[in-house]
Structure 1
Amino acid sequence: MSKNLSTPVFLNISLLSAGHFFSDFYANFLPALLPIVMVKLGLSLTMSGMLVMVYSVISSVLQPVSGYIIDKRGYAWLILVTTPVSAVFICLSGLADSKFALFLLVGLAGLGSSVFHPLAASLMGRVVTAETKGTAMSIFIFGGNIGYAVAPAVILYLLSTTGTASLLWLIIPGLLVTGASYLAGLHKFDISPAKTCARDAVNEQFEPWYKSRGLILLNIVNALRSWMQVALPTFLPVALAGAGQPPSVAASMLTVFLLSGACGALFGGWLGDRIGRKAGVIGSLLLCLPVTYLFLCDISPSFVSYSLLALSGALIQSTAPTSVVWAQELIPGNAAMASGMMLGLSFGLGGVGAAITGGLGDHIGIESALLWSLVSLGLALILAFAIPQPAKRPTGNQILNI
C-alpha cells in the first residue's frame, strides 16, 4: 500500500464532500449580499446582473477548461488552494469599497470554485472502487447541495446581526477543511496524465473528448435538465407573489426544493450503481416530467403541492451524480474535464435556459412560461436514449482501493 493510500477511503470521501459543502456555501453568497452592496456602492440592477454573470461564467462555464488543464498536468495540490481562495475573496467582497474591487474579488472567488469542482470530482473517482463510484459521487454532490442551501440563511443572519465584517469569520471553516485535507494527504494522489494512461490504457481503448458523441449528448441532456433546476427556484417566488402568496410561502417552498434536491442527489448515484448509469438518468427524467407538471398546475400551498415539489427537486437532482460518473466513464482519460462539463458548463447553460423562461414569462406570464419550460425535460429524456453505454474499462489495478 503506497503512502498516499494510507488514509481510509471513507475519510477521503468525507473530506472531499466537506470541501464541496464549503465550496458551494461560498458560491451562494451573492444573493444574500447583493442588497447590501447595491446600496453601499450604488449598483444598478443591470450592474448587479453583470456581477452575477461574471461569477457564473468564471465559476461554472470555465470548469471544463480547468478540468482540461488538470487532466494534462495533474495538479492535485490545487485541492489545498481552491477552497481558501473562494473563502477569502468572497468573504472580503462584502467589504469592497469600489465597484472594481467588488468585481475583482467576486471573480477571484469564482476562479477557486471553477478549479475545485473538476479536481475534487476527479479525485473522488480515484479513492473508491468502480462499483461504488456513483454512491461516492452522490455523497460528494449531497455535500455541495447542502452547503448551497444553507448559505443564504447563515449569511443573512450574520448580516442582520453583526454586519459585513462578521463574514470574515466564515473563512475559518474553509481553512480548517483544507488543513484536514492536507493532513490526510489528498494533495499526494497521483492524477498525472502518465499515471492515468498507464492505468486505464486510454490511448488504446478510448476516444478523445472532442470525438465523443456520447459526452456531447450527455452534456446537452444535463444542460436541459439544469434548465428546470435553475428556472424553478428562480421564478417560483415570482409566480407565488403574483398569486398573492406571502414571502414566507416562497421561502418555505425554496427550502423544500433545495433540501429535497440534496437528498435526491444522495440517492441517485447509489441507484445508478445498482441499475446502471443510463437507466438511472432515464428513469429519473421519466418520473420528473409528470411530477413537475402536476406541481406547476397548482402552486398554491398545500400538502400535495409541497409533496410534489419535494419529489420534483429530488428527481431533478438525482441525475447529477450519475451524470458525472457516466461522463468520466465515457472519457476516462479526461475525467476532470468531464466532471467540469457536468458540474459547471451544464449548469451554466441551464442558466441560459432559465433566462429564456424569464423572457417568455414577460409575454405569457411566468406560470405558463414554467410549464412550457418542461419541454426541456422532455427533450432531455429523448436524447438520453441515444447516449451509448460507456465501454468496459480494463480490469486490474486501474482503480485505487484500500
Structure 2
Amino acid sequence: MAAGATTKAAAVQTGTVYAILFAISSVHMLNDTMQAIVTAMFPVVRTSLDLSLGQIGWVAFALNMTSSVMQPVVGFLSDKRPAPWMLPFGMALSLIGVAGLAYSPGFWALMLAVVFVGLGSAIFHPEGSRVVYFAAGGRRGLAQSIYQVGGNAGSSLAPLMTIFIFVPLGQSGAIWGTLLAAAAIIILIRVVPWYRSQLVTHGKPVKRAAKAPESGDAKQVRQNVGVALFLLILLVFARSWYTTGISTYYQIYLEDFRDFSLRAAQVPIFLFMAAGVLGTFLGGILADRFGRKRMILISIGGAAPFALLLPYLPSFLIYPVIFLLGVILLSGFSVSVVYAQELLPGKVGMASGLITGLAFGMGAIGAVIIGEAGDIWGLDRVLTWSSFLPLLGLLAFALPPDRRE
C-alpha cells in the first residue's frame, strides 16, 4: 500500500502529460483497429471459408480470450517487473497475425492468425495502462478516457473496413493492416524512452517488508475489495457479452431477418461503435466530477431500456436508438478501469488486466454461446434474449462508494 501511495503521489506531482497520452491513445487506436479487422472480415469469410455462425463465434472467442485472459497475467508480471520493450514486441506479434489473416486458407489457419493478434493486444494493454497512469497527473478519469477513446475509435472502424476494404478486396485486404502495426511500432519507439524514465524516477517495484499480522479491520477491507471486484467484473462481463453480440452478430441479423444489404447492415454497427467513442470520453469527464460508481450504474443500467427496445423497432428507428445505446452503454468503459485501479492501489497493470482483460474474456464466451445458440434456435431469438443482459447493471447499487462520493 505504501509503495502504491508513493507511486500515485509522484504521478500526480508530474502533472498531466498530454503528448504522451495522445501518443499512447493513437497506438491503442491502431491496436484495436487490428483487432477490428477480424470482426470486419466475418461477413466475407463467412462465405469465402464457408463458416457457420458457431465457427464465427469460436473465432471471436479465440481473439477475445487470447487478448483478454493473458492481460491479468501480463499485468501481474509487469507490476513486479515493468518492461517498456514489451510495447513494440506486442505490436510485432500483431503484425504477424494480421498478415496471417490475409492469407488463411481455412478455419484453423484463421484461428492461429487470430491468436497472434490477440497475444499482441494482451501484451500491449497492461503496459499501455501504466503509461497512462504515469501521464495522467491528477486527472485520472480524463486520462483513461483519452486512452480508451483511441481503442473504441479503432473498434468502430470495423464496419467501414467491411464496406470499403473487404467487400471490394475480399480477405486479402487484411494485408493493409500490417501498415497499422508498423505505424504503432514507430510511435512506441518514441514513447518507450519516456516510459522508462518514469520507471527510473518513481515507478520501479519496491521490495516488500516482512508481512505483519493482519488486523480485523484490514481483513474486512480486503473482503470488501474482493466483493467489489467480483461485482465489477460481473457488470463488465454483462456489458461485454451484450456488446460482443451486437458487434459480431447484429450485422448478420440485419441481413438475414431485416433484408438489409451487406453494406447497409454495417451502418448501425458503425453508429453503435462511434457513439461508444463519444460515450467513453464523456463518461471519464463526468466520473471525475460525479463519481465512478454513479457512472457505472448509469452506463449499464441506463442502457437497458434501449437494449430491450432494439429488437422490436422499425428499421428507421434503429439508427437513433442504437446510437443512444452506444453512448450510454460505453460511457462506463474507462470508468470501470479507474474504479478497479482505486480498489487495487499499486497494482495498476493487474487492475487494468482484470477489467479490460479477464472480464472481456468472459464476454468472449458469450460470442460462442450466441453463435451456437443462433444456429439452433435462430439468431433473431437469441439476440432478443441477450437484450436483457444490461439489466444486470442494477447490481452497481451494491458497489461501495468511491472516493468522490
Regarding TM over 0.5, the answer is yes
CA distance in 2, matches of 1:242, 1:36: 15
Give the superposition deviation at 1:35: 6.7
Give the superposition deviation at 1:129: 2.2
SS at match of 1:28: helix
Count residues with an aligned counterpart. 384
2:161 corresponds to which residue? 154
Query: Residue deviations 1:344-381, cap 9 Å, x none?
Result: 22222223235445566567654454343343222232
CA distance in 1, matches of 2:143, 2:247: 26
1:387 corresponds to which residue? 399
Unaligned stretches of 5+ residues in structure 2: 1-9, 213-217
Query: In the alignment, is residue 58 of structure 1 matched against residue 72 of structure 2?
Result: no
2:236 corresponds to which residue? 222
Provide the TM-score with structure 1 as the length reference. Answer: 0.81
One-letter code of the match for 1:53?
F
CA distance in 2, matches of 1:296, 1:33: 24
CA distance in 2, matches of 1:93, 1:233: 19
Provide the TM-score with structure 2 as the length reference. Answer: 0.81
1:123–1:38 CA distance, 2 compared to 1 (3 A) = same
SS at match of 2:266: helix
Give the superposition deviation at 1:141: 1.3
1:399 corresponds to which residue? none
Unaligned stretches of 5+ residues in structure 1: 393-402
1:275 corresponds to which residue? 290
Query: In the alignment, is residue 69 of structure 1 matched against residue 82 of structure 2?
Result: no
One-letter code of the match for 1:188?
R
Moved more, 235-244 or 44-53: 44-53
One-letter code of the match for 1:183?
R
Give the superposition deviation at 1:49: 4.9
Give the superposition deviation at 1:279: 0.9
CA distance in 2, matches of 1:181, 1:84: 11
1:74–1:386 CA distance, 2 compared to 1 (3 A) = same
CA distance in 2, matches of 1:278, 1:80: 34
1:138–1:234 CA distance, 2 compared to 1 (3 A) = same
Query: In the alignment, is residue 255 of structure 1 matched against residue 263 of structure 2?
Result: no
CA distance in 1, matches of 2:223, 2:125: 18
One-letter code of the match for 2:229?
L
CA distance in 1, matches of 2:385, 2:269: 20
**2:37–2:174 CA contact under 8 A, matched in 1:** no
1:266–1:332 CA distance, 2 compared to 1 (3 A) = same
**2:268–2:318 CA contact under 8 A, matched in 1:** no
2:190 corresponds to which residue? 183
One-letter code of the match for 1:295?
L
CA distance in 1, matches of 2:177, 2:266: 23
**Matching residue within 132, 136, 150 for 2:143:** 136
CA distance in 1, matches of 2:17, 2:47: 47
CA distance in 1, matches of 2:45, 2:251: 22
SS at match of 1:74: coil
Aligned CA RMSD, in angstroms, stands at 3.7
1:377–1:168 CA distance, 2 compared to 1 (3 A) = closer
**1:77–1:188 CA contact under 8 A, matched in 2:** no
Give the superposition deviation at 1:61: 2.4
1:60–1:356 CA distance, 2 compared to 1 (3 A) = same
1:121–1:246 CA distance, 2 compared to 1 (3 A) = same
Query: Residue deviations 1:272-328, cap 9 Å, x none?
Result: 111010011112233211222233332x222x4322211111111111000011111
